[in-house]
């Protein structure tokens, strides 16, 4: 029986760092050769450029940088290992998303991605031309059919590779995470490998890149759709797959390590931690600073920040005013102590009163309204940005998706920041995550989870004063934002007409705020930003 050891290289490239990514690949192949006696090493999609490179693909020097990196790899890569790695490239005047095949110092072949997604966060038709040729590359007796990411979500490329004689399908991927995506991906792979009747090796990237986060989960399935190997989610590393030739001539994977399923809360929490950690570290910040209000959102953000960066790189600031409850002050101090972060209290009363004194003349004759409430939030934002400038820390904002959707945030106030770890997390999920995190080890005071949420910008204020209960609000928002359901369609499901129209009008009206909000981890099937694009000025009216 003939064996071939294939190693899935599940690593996190840095977008734009072509020399650094090439060096990482060279080192990974060396390790795979020493530790696993690898015959083949497969890297993710566009590994050399990082994913997604976006308009870096249009830079005039990109091709020269890639050529230099590929020449370095050919010279320094370990011998007697077939390396399959993704990168962009211009060929005969067209730019393609490519998988290159390197062996013993020679680039032997290239495959161009055939199916270019142009939906949700994907914009590949802006940059690439579709490939038209199937590639099956033989190495040590096994014929390897190459695909890239979206190709595998369609039957035709897989069928073409099998028809060309592929014994196994290798897919290079940069498949971003969202809730339920790992299970969705495995269902697709089960169907595709069973339909092809041959093993499918799926190599995914890992780590955070701006709003996107990649969960890994590289795997191999046999020709009957059974999972044979599954690499850990959220962990970089090398995962071997043993392909064995049977007496019939067919190649099958040997049983390998399979990571156990994780709770949906754990998967989502890991996504948030990974996205924040990589954004801060790849951007070169020393750490983060955030306003700690004693409420659930800032408490959740603090826990994520500590798990992502360590307590020594996190600074929390309580900025009380007249309406800040004593329990908020107590809970904020308790959580800071629980997590071991640097903590300080900066009262904003002198700052607010100074602003109000300056504005007294122009405000004369007007009553108190949200202007005064927003001014409190904006004073806090100014203080946080001053700390950011002076201490070299990134401001971490903490608005959840429910609030951001309906504009229950203050522009230039609590929206101030460089990143928001929970930007795409609905309020109901914030509570679920808080309970899950506390079940691992105490991180958030229980009273923060149990008490009614409030912005504390006015006496006895609660979120429910101006919004439906979050269970109802989130259910409406999910249908409108992610399901693209109309107002009447949502009402037909059983929701109150007034609630639905009020919520939808708030979502539509607050698009201008979201355009100015910090970026954050995308974890739902349709996040705000690059995923959902609506005009700021329009005359569309909700209805059918």
Catalytic residue annotation: 45, 113, 149
The span from the CA of 41 to the CA of 479, in Å, is: 43
CA–CA dist 198, 251 (Å, integer): 7
Q: List the structure tokens of 466.
A: 């101006």
Closest CA to 272 of 520, 445, 438: 520
Report the C-alpha gap between 118 and 150 in whole angstroms: 10
Q: Which residues of 475-499 are buried (b: 16+ CB within 10 A; e: fewer)?
A: bbbbbbbeeebbbeebbeeebeeeb
Give residue 184's Cα distance to chain centre. Answer: 16
- What six digits make up the tokens of 232? 């850990």
Phi and psi dihedrals of 389, rounded to 5? -65, -45
Residue with tokens 């211009």: 90
**CB-neighbour burial class of residue 260 (10 A; exposed 0-12, middle 13-18, buried 19+):** exposed
- Supply 373's token pair: 């409430």
State CA 59 to chain mean position distance: 25
136: β partners: 145
d(CA 203, CA 455): 44
Q: Tokens representing 26?
A: 């060279």
Helix residue ranges per DSSP H, 87-197: 155-163, 181-196
**Cα distance between residue 471 and residue 498, in whole Å:** 16
Helix ranges, 49-180 (H): 62-76, 155-163
Start-to-end C-alpha separation, the chain:
63
Helix, strand, or coil here: 496? coil
Given a contact cutoff of 8 angstroms between Cβ atoms, the answer to whether 231 and 237 are in contact is yes
Strands 237-245 and 136-139: unpaired
């Amino acid at each position: 029986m003939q064996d071939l050891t294939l190693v899935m290289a599940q690593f996190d490239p840095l977008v734009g760092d072509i020399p650094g990514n090439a060096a990482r690949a060279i080192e990974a192949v060396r390790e795979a050769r020493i530790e696993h006696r690898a015959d083949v090493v497969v890297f993710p999609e566009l590994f050399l450029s990082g994913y997604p490179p976006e308009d870096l693909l249009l830079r005039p020097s990109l091709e020269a940088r890639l050529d230099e990196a590929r020449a370095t790899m050919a010279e320094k890569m370990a011998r007697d290992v077939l390396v399959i790695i993704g990168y962009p490239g211009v060929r005969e005047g067209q730019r393609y998303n490519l998988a290159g095949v390197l062996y013993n110092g020679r680039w032997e072949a290239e495959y161009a991605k055939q199916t270019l997604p142009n939906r949700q966060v994907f914009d590949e038709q802006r940059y690439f031309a579709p490939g038209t040729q199937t590639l099956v590359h033989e190495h040590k007796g096994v014929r390897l059919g190459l695909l890239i990411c979206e190709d595998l979500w369609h039957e035709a490329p897989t069928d073409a590779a099998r028809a060309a004689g592929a014994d196994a399908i290798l897919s290079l991927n940069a498949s971003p995470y969202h809730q339920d995506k790992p299970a969705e991906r495995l269902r697709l792979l089960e169907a595709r490998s069973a339909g092809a009747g041959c093993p499918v090796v799926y190599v995914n990237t890992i780590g955070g890149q701006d709003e996107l986060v990649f969960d890994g989960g590289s795997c191999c399935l046999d020709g009957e759709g059974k999972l044979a190997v599954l690499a850990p989610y959220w962990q970089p590393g090398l995962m071997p797959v043993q392909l064995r030739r049977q007496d019939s001539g067919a190649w099958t994977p040997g049983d390998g390590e399979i990571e156990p399923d994780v709770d949906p809360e754990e998967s989502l929490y890991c996504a948030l931690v990974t996205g924040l950690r990589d954004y801060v570290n790849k951007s070169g910040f020393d750490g983060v600073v955030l306003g700690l209000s004693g409420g659930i959102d800032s408490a959740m953000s603090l826990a994520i920040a500590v798990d992502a960066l360590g307590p020594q790189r996190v600074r929390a600031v309580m900025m009380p005013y007249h309406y800040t409850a004593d329990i908020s002050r107590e809970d904020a101090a308790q959580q800071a102590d629980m997590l071991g972060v640097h903590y300080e209290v900066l009262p904003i009363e002198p700052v607010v009163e100074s602003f109000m004194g300056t504005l007294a003349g122009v405000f004369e004759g007007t009553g108190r309204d949200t202007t005064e409430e927003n001014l409190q939030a904006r004073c806090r934002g100014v203080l946080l940005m001053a700390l950011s400038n002076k201490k070299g820390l990134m401001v971490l904002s903490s608005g959840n998706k429910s609030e951001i959707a309906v504009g229950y945030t203050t522009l230039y106030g609590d929206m101030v920041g460089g990143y928001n770890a929970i930007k795409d997390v609905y309020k109901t999920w914030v509570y679920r995550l808080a309970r899950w995190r506390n079940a691992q080890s105490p991180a958030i005071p229980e009273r923060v989870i149990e008490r009614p949420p409030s912005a504390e910008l006015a006496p006895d204020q609660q979120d429910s004063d101006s919004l439906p209960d979050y269970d109802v609000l989130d259910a409406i928002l999910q249908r409108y934002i992610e399901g693209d359901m109309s107002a009447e369609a949502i009402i037909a499901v059983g929701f109150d007409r007034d609630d639905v129209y009020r919520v939808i009008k708030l979502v539509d009206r607050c698009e201008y705020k979201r355009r100015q909000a910090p970026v954050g981890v995308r974890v739902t099937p349709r996040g705000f930003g690059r995923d959902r694009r609506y005009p700021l000025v329009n005359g569309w009216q909700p209805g059918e």
